[in-house]
Chains A and B, each alone.
Chain A
Amino acid sequence: MSQVFILGDFSGEKATKTTTELATAAARIGEVIGIVFAPVGLGASMAATINSGPISKLIVVESNDFAAHGVAALADALSQLVSTQSPVAVLIASHALGKEIAGRVAVETLSGIITDAVDISSDLTATQLVFGGSTTVHSKISHGISIITIRPNSFEADNSPCAPEIENVALVISEKSKKATITSSEPPIKGGRPELTEANIVVSGGRGTDGNFSAVEAFADSLGAAVGASRAATDAGWYPHSHQVGQTGKTVSPQLYVACGISGAIQHRAGMQTSKTIVVVNKDPEAPIFDISDFGVVGDLFAVLPAATEGVLARKS
């Protein structure tokens, strides 16, 4: 059976739900080999956090060059593995790091690349939603190995437990991939809420919150949701940049997106308009965000959200 590589997706030293999603997609195509790139000494413990999804084997590479040289070093290692083992495809999470690794691997292994796939079929046809979700495109890679990045949270993961065989591989990162050096790293600030790109529900606040996110956060917590923000809110320093949704923030596609006090600029829509259901709370009946909402309330978010929060909590108790 042909082999498909998935690049393990980690938050710190722990595999994310996206890793299991990648494995689920890859299993439609062939035998799934997970790749784990770890600092020296952490390979085994990081690999052990990959414990669900149809994965038969993990290839673990330890090197301190990953943390020291970032994208180029990771892409170098992955290209070496791809060149020696010739999988039919490599699936990688579609975020800044994942896409850049994919791009470099495509160049180095003379392979085609597709980014932001939301689905993939057994014959390696990828589905993308382009032009702000208005058009569905199916495409295929015609030369080399299929390098495909998959948008997190696009389909149901197969969460059955797995205990993959572990193979440790030693690699030497070439000098040309060490030209940029990371001198310090700050991980993103994590609250107790779900990750934006992994959450089933996202509640976002914009300029309409006037800097007070408490109503937005309370509603999010009643739904077990992640909290997002428009650029107006992150620029004003009301919410961390890592929570920005949109063109230059994160792309989310949850089951439910609730936009509160957000007007619906094209750059904001670019990051959320493929959400399955969209709910809007906005004072201005003319706000363009209403054009894409399934349920819109023209009203003050400081009145509507607390009442809705109370309603949700009452139903749950």
Chain B
Amino acid sequence: MKIAVCVKQVPDSWAQKKMGASGNLDRENVDAVLNDLDEYAVEEALRIVEAHGGNEEGGPHSVTVISMGPARATDAIRKALSMGANSGILISDANLEGADALETSRILAEVIKNSQFDLVLCGTESTDARMSVVPAMIAARLDWAQLTFAGSVTVNADAQTVSISRVTEAGVDAITASFPCVISVVEKINEPRYPSFKGIMASKKKTIETKDLAAVGLSAEVHWSQVVDATERPPRAAGVKITDDGQSGPLLVNFLVEKKLI
């Protein structure tokens, strides 16, 4: 089985995110980390290959990490490699700055098409863009089965089929499909491992291939949407804070009445 995992490097969740001059997220001045929701995808990919004998170099199973982003996104890929993935591909090109989901999915789909993957795993959402559309778009572009928002994944390597339970606000669906499939996993699916010391050392010897657009065989497309303006909203004004002395119930009710909430 050849599995690809799409991971994104994002600003640290606690970082104060701001818009840059170009109308894109200012990624220069914040700490960047592997999107934590993508760690679950890396973990699930490793569990799938481990359940089938592992991903020893030269063996039948491998996990390739794919990311599109600036040069320093190799750090996010390296983290996934230190968890146990085999190799990485970074697509990095000045012309991709500010790429939206349509563009991102077009590039990722092209890279995936050029290698023979059986499964592609993704997180359900990047914590910066929060669109939750890239996995569905990749599936649509490749004409592959879409198995997204998986709370559990069962792979039958002999039959080349995958079954998932899709967990969303609309309930739980059991869904099955044959290889190749695009799968996205929710954070309830597993507990991502911490890279071991051995894993970290091993990851330094693993290859990350960096490609520009020409190497992928594409040129940059239009920007599908444009930011007209972005304004920082005033921080929430400090509210009232009282310490309960037995009277705060009525005070809370008064507050709700004043605000016309009851």
Contact = CB atoms under 8 A, between A and B. Distances in A.
Nearest to B182: A180
B203 interface: no
B253 A107 contact: no
Interface string A254-289: 011000000000110010000001110100010000
Contacts of A134: 16-17, 232-233, 235
Contacts of A278: 236, 239
Given A186-B171, A299-B243, 20 more contacts: A70-B173, A104-B136, A104-B140, A106-B137, A136-B233, A137-B227, A139-B226, A179-B144, A179-B178, A179-B181, A181-B177, A187-B171, A242-B169, A250-B169, A296-B239, A296-B242, A307-B249, A308-B248, A308-B252, A311-B249
29 contacts: A99-B132, A103-B131, A106-B133, A115-B133, A129-B233, A130-B230, A134-B232, A135-B233, A136-B232, A138-B227, A139-B227, A140-B228, A142-B222, A176-B143, A179-B178, A180-B147, A181-B177, A182-B173, A187-B171, A235-B188, A247-B127, A256-B261, A294-B240, A295-B240, A295-B255, A297-B251, A307-B249, A307-B250, A311-B249
A147 B229 CA distance: 19
A135 B239 contact: no
A102 interface: yes
B130 interface: yes
A185 B252 contact: no
Contacts, number: 269
Interface string A96-108: 1101101110111
B17 A131 contact: yes
Interface of B: 13-14, 16-19, 25, 37, 100-102, 105, 124-125, 127-128, 130-134, 136-137, 139-141, 143-149, 163, 166-178, 181, 186-188, 222-233, 235-237, 239-244, 246, 248-253, 255-257, 259, 261-262
Interface string A53-76: 000000000000000001110010
Contacts of B166: 70
B203 to A, nearest CB: 27
Contacts of A296: 239-242
A312 interface: yes
B225 A114 contact: yes
From DSSP, what is the main secondary structure of chain B's interface residues? Answer: mixed
Contacts of B141: 107
A133 B232 CA distance: 9
B176 A180 contact: yes
A203 B107 CA distance: 43
B118 to A, nearest CB: 14
A180 B144 CA distance: 9
A136 B252 contact: no
Nearest to B13: A266
A161 B19 CA distance: 42
Interface of A: 70-72, 75, 95-97, 99-100, 102-104, 106-108, 111-116, 125, 129-144, 176, 179-188, 197, 201, 223, 235, 241-242, 247-248, 250, 255-256, 266-267, 270, 277-279, 281, 285, 290-300, 303-312, 315-316
B262 A223 contact: yes
Given A72-B140, A290-B241, A143 B261 contact: no
What 3 pairs across the A-B complex have the smallest Cβ distances?
A: A307-B249, A299-B244, A103-B133
B132 A96 contact: yes
Contact of B226 (A113, A142, A312, A315): A142
A312 B140 CA distance: 51
A139 B171 contact: no
A135 to B, nearest CB: 5
B164 to A, nearest CB: 9
Contacts of B232: 134-136
A142 B224 contact: yes
B16 to A, nearest CB: 8
A72 to B, nearest CB: 6
B244 A72 contact: no
B140 A185 contact: no
A139 B100 CA distance: 12
A303 B181 CA distance: 52
A185 B171 contact: yes
B167 A241 contact: yes
B244 A115 contact: no
Contacts of A248: 37, 124-125, 186-188
Contacts of A306: 249
A113 B223 CA distance: 11
Given A107-B105, A298-B242, A125 B228 contact: yes
Contacts of A133: 233
Given A223-B262, A299-B243, A304 B248 contact: yes
